[in-house]
Amino acid sequence: MCGCHLSLSPAASKENMHRDHELFCEFFGSPAGRLKSPLLSTQAEEMPAPAATVRLGALPPYLKTHGRKVARLHMVDWIVLLLLAAVDVGLNLIEPFHRFVGKGMMDTLLYPLKENTVPVWAVPILAVVLPMVIFTGIYMKRRNTYDLHHAILGLFFSVLITGVLTDAIKDGVGRPRPNFYWRCFPDGVPNYNNITGQVICHGDAAVIKEGHKSFPSGHTSWSFAGLGFLSWYLAGKIRVFDQRGHIAKLCIVIMPLLLAALVGVSRVDDYWHHWQDVFAGGILGLVVASFCYLQFFPSPSGEHGHWPHAYHHHILNPDAESQAQQTTASTSDRHQPVLPRDLSVIPYAVSMEMRTNGRALDSMEAGSRAR
């Protein structure tokens, strides 16, 4: 009959709906959440698997290519170095503690006032410039910016931390030097307080100020801080602890320490320090140098003791930095729907959905009329 809806049995209606749903899911709503195109199924099967990603070796860390990056990563460290230098300058400007020096104590402070065998300006050359020349020579041969940068940075930290500790202790202790008598009384005429017996100095104020800075020895601590760091550095580069028994390597490592020890001996010979001052300064400088070296470099006896920590982290493991970014990208891609390459199937899939919904409505209307 025209104008009337064709009545379907409930079983036929369910069968039609199930078939249309399967057809729709095949093109639009698969369980994996992807659209499938019959036009691309054959091409996808014939398409070969992508080739494995070719991983190239890391470029050598030249100063021109990696220098700015490394310096930028350690910008805070360089700022801290400037602060340490400013603190050390301030400690040299303030007046040290003037320990009580009586008439009976002058017997051990009567040594002559001599010139320095190792001048003050020579200490930075031995402790800083000489190691930097060796660092640069190794860089010219190996071309490792990380090694050059961290060696210089660690050296500066070693000598500046040692300098701050040394000058702070000097100002706080105020021990008189062995030649304090001639600093206090340059004309040889002593003058003491009639009640306390304390010395009343009439020499040059700057010379007297320097006379209260005996403990610990600054020459010795600085020498061991710089040359001790150099010994650690050479031990790692020549692999002195490779368990092969080459004593010649050990002699090379000892040479900077011997030079630092000779600087300390000269301080006693010149009567500028007591032996306790030199001993304490040497221990202080060597301990700080050890901590600073191990902060930037592995132990020379280790398997990777040749290059600094940063080299192994940034160069030998180049994928470590981008691992987090790759993980984040893969996680976001997992939650995004994958669109078909052939977008022409979308209108067809949409029409199938409308057709399915229309048939469902017709079935519901036919059921209501049958009642």
pLDDT digit string (tens) for 125-158? 999 999 999 999 988 887 788 888 889 999 999 9
Is the pLDDT reported for residue 46 higher than 60? no
Q: How many domains does the chain have?
A: 2
CA gap 199, 339 in Å, rounded? 94
Q: Tell me if 43 sits within 8 A of 118, measured CB to CB.
A: no
Q: Does residue 108 sit within a domain? A: yes
In a shared domain, residues 186 and 84: yes
In a shared domain, residues 295 and 355: no
Name all contacts of 287-291 with Cβ < 8 Å and 24+ positions apart: 288/158, 288/161, 288/162, 288/165, 288/225, 289/158, 289/162, 289/224, 289/225, 289/226, 289/228, 289/229, 289/232, 290/228, 290/232
In a shared domain, residues 120 and 259: yes
CA gap 340, 204 in Å, rounded? 91
Q: Does residue 2 sit within a domain? A: no
Residues with a catalytic annotation lie at 219, 273
Could you tell me the pLDDT band of residue 270, with boundaries at 50, 70 and 90? very high
Q: What is the mean pLDDT of residues 238-245?
A: 78
In a shared domain, residues 349 and 244: no
Is the pLDDT reported for residue 60 higher than 70? no
Q: Which two tokens stand for residue 47?
A: 């398409």
CA gap 194, 105 in Å, rounded? 15
In a shared domain, residues 357 and 288: no
Q: Does residue 278 sit within a domain? A: yes
Q: What is the mean pLDDT of residues 357-371?
A: 57
Q: Does residue 176 sit within a domain? A: yes
Q: Which two tokens stand for residue 120?
A: 């003050």
Q: Which two tokens stand for residue 30?
A: 């698969």
Q: Does residue 170 sit within a domain? A: yes
Determine what percent of the chain is predicted with pLDDT higher than 70.
63
In a shared domain, residues 96 and 211: yes
Taking the chain, what is the end-to-end CA distance rounded to the nearest angstrom? 19
pLDDT digit string (tens) for 158-178? 999 999 999 999 999 999 999
Is the pLDDT reported for residue 53 higher than 50? no
**Planar angle of CA 33, 37, 42, nearest 5 degrees:** 120
In a shared domain, residues 186 and 301: yes
Give residue 349's domain range.
Answer: 345-371
In a shared domain, residues 88 and 193: yes
pLDDT digit string (tens) for 77-115? 999 999 999 999 999 999 999 999 998 888 899 999 999
Which position has the higher pLDDT, 312 or 210? 210
Q: What is the mean pLDDT of residues 66-76?
A: 75
Is the pLDDT reported for residue 303 higher than 90? no
pLDDT digit string (tens) for 214-238? 999 999 999 999 999 999 999 988 8
Q: Does residue 195 sit within a domain? A: yes
In a shared domain, residues 79 and 219: yes
In a shared domain, residues 299 and 362: no
Q: Does residue 57 sit within a domain? A: no
The pLDDT, as a whole number, for residue 369 is 53
Domain final residue, candidates 307, 334, 357: 307
Could you tell me the pLDDT band of residue 10, with boundaries at 50, 70 and 90? low
In a shared domain, residues 371 and 294: no
In a shared domain, residues 358 and 268: no
The pLDDT, as a whole number, for residue 324 is 40
